[in-house]
């Protein structure tokens, strides 16, 4: 990392480096003659005009091609019942628990974590030594700015490479949206004015666009996608990085072989939680009897979903999720405001769909859900497992139902009452009943 330091500040800067155990060295100084010079001790060994350095090399021109990709079906299995499919979805690598990885890293540096990657709850018997603990996932992390400040910093990510197989433009917008949704879940502010407190970083992991016009076309589409999402959300990209040669080239049985990654974009989002003591929240349901809603348009699609990876024959037409910033912005503004402190939990609907989000919200507490959905929704794989943008599962106290529903209607925020949190670890509906333990065994990686 390089710094520009005024000569009069050098001693102070060097002292900071010593304080933090970091090496620092002077490598040069600025001049005003427009020349870049390199010395070995006192001997001039290289010299170039800045005009040539900045504009002398010809710019690389790539050929980019793109055409809509047909919705290819890889269906090879008869579609099971929704409960049976639910267990299989829970066990997929992109859905199942990441706790084994998370526990290998220290997320307690200086003891300032407020919302951790995993939420953990202990039973009442824990104090006597006979209890146990349960864990479930959170959407993002909140870290206190300092030990004497009420401000928290929220960090969230979005990554959905499966959508690149449909359209990298959709993939890019969905990845930005997922990162922002994760911040809103844990209580970050949201504003589309000049006082925005959100910022974004992109991380491209791409197969070689120089030698392949199709990959270059996907890259252009992705750049248009993040531009669209950034402008709609008024969230600036402040930095980023790219890796554009993610291909293996070799031989297999004497024949040339190339293996390329799926065009992938990781979005990291940073937000502010103005008072984490009152605003920070987690994904887990808090009390039996609380009312559960889905907030947002829930324009779910099975195309590009984790459900589709299982190769089931779809009883419904495969479609991609729809981007709807016009509907999303009022919802995000409400979630990022003081009004949303009435929510007892908040979790975004992402990989695995609506039922997966409900299940993940029950894990830490061991609760279940009494679903009040009609039979058509309970039979629909698209409704249950389809993935969508701009959508959340939330829980509220029953006493807040009427007030919040009135507020959501006034703001034009779509919502649907899903049911209520149940004390027993079961998902009950008028059509089927599923044990939390059966789904959890698949989600935690146990062999069924």
pTM listed for this prediction: 0.89
Q: What is the mean pLDDT of the chain?
A: 92
> pLDDT tens digit string along 62-72?
999 999 887 66
Supply the DSSP symbol for 316.
Answer: S
**346-356 confidence digits (pLDDT tens):** 999 999 999 99
How far apart are alpha carbons 73 and 39 in whole angstroms? 62
89-94 mean pLDDT = 94
Instruction: Report the Cα 234 to chain-centroid distance in Å.
Output: 18
Of residues 121, 112, 161, 177, the one with CA closest to residue 141: 112
pLDDT classification of 146: cutoffs 50, 70, 90: confident
244-257 pLDDT, tens per residue?
A: 999 999 999 999 99
With CA atoms as reference, report the closest residue to 118 among 443, 448, 447.
443
Band of residue 123 on the pLDDT scale cut at 50, 70, 90: low
**Tokens representing 157?**
């990510």
- Per-domain boundaries in the chain: 7-55, 82-443
Q: What is the pLDDT of residues 188-203, one digit of tens each?
A: 999 877 777 899 999 9
Residues of the chain with pLDDT > 90, as a percent, come to: 83
- Tens of pLDDT, residue by residue over 344-391, are 999 999 999 999 999 999 999 899 999 999 999 999 999 999 999 999
pLDDT of 133 reads 78
Q: How far apart are the first and last CA of the chain?
A: 50
- pLDDT interval class at 137 (50, 70, 90): very high
pLDDT in tens, 28-50: 999 999 999 999 999 999 999 99
Would you identify the CATH topology of the domain 82-443? Phosphoribosyl-aminoimidazole Synthetase; Chain A, domain 2 (3.90.650)
Q: Of all helices (H) and strands (E), which one includes residue 395?
A: strand 392-396
Number of CB atoms found within 10 A of residue 337's CB: 13
């Amino acid at each position: 990392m390089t710094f520009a330091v005024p000569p009069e500040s050098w001693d102070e800067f060097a002292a900071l480096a010593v304080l933090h155990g970091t090496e620092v060295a002077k490598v040069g100084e600025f001049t005003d003659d427009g020349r870049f010079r390199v010395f070995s001790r006192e001997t001039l060994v290289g010299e170039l005009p800045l005009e040539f350095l900045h504009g002398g090399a010809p710019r690389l021109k790539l050929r980019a091609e793109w055409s809509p990709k047909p919705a290819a079906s890889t269906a090879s299995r008869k579609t099971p019942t929704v409960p049976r499919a639910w267990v299989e979805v829970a066990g997929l690598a992109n859905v199942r628990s990441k706790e084994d990885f998370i526990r290998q890293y220290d997320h307690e540096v200086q003891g300032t974590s407020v919302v951790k990657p995993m939420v953990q709850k202990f039973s009442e018997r824990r104090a006597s030594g006979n209890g146990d603990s349960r864990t479930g996932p959170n959407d993002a992390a909140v870290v206190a700015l300092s030990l004497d400040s009420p401000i928290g910093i929220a960090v969230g990510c979005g990554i959905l490479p499966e959508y690149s197989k449909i359209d990298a433009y959709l993939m890019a917008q969905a990845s930005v949206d997922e990162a922002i949704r994760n911040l809103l879940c844990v209580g970050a502010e949201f504003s589309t004015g000049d006082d925005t407190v959100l910022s974004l970083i992109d991380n491209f992991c791409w197969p070689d666009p120089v030698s392949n016009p199709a990959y270059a076309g996907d890259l252009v589409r992705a750049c248009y996608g993040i531009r669209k999402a950034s402008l709609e959300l008024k969230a600036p990209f402040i930095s980023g990085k790219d890796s554009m040669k993610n291909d293996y080239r070799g031989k297999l049985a004497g024949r040339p072989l190339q293996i390329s990654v799926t065009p992938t974009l990781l979005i990291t989002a940073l937000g502010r939680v103005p008072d984490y003591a009152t605003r920070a929240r987690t994904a887990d349901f808090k009390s039996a009897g609380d009312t559960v809603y889905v907030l947002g348009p829930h324009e779910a699609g099975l195309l590009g979903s984790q459900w589709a990876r299982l190769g089931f024959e779809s009883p419904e037409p495969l479609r991609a999720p729809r981007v709807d910033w016009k509907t999303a912005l009022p919802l995000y503004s409400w979630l990022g405001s003081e009004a949303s402190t009435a929510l007892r939990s908040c979790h975004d609907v992402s990989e695995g769909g609506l039922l997966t989000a409900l299940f993940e919200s029950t894990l830490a507490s061991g609760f279940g859900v009494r679903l009040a959905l009609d039979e058509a929704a309970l039979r629909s794989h698209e409704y249950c497992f389809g993935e969508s943008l701009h959508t959340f599962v939330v829980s509220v106290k029953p006493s807040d139902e009427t007030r919040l529903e009135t507020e959501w209607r006034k703001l034009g925020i779509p919502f649907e009452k899903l049911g209520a949190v149940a004390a027993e670890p079961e998902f009950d509906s008028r059509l089927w009943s599923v044990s939390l333990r059966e789904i959890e065994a698949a989600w935690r990686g146990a062999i069924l």
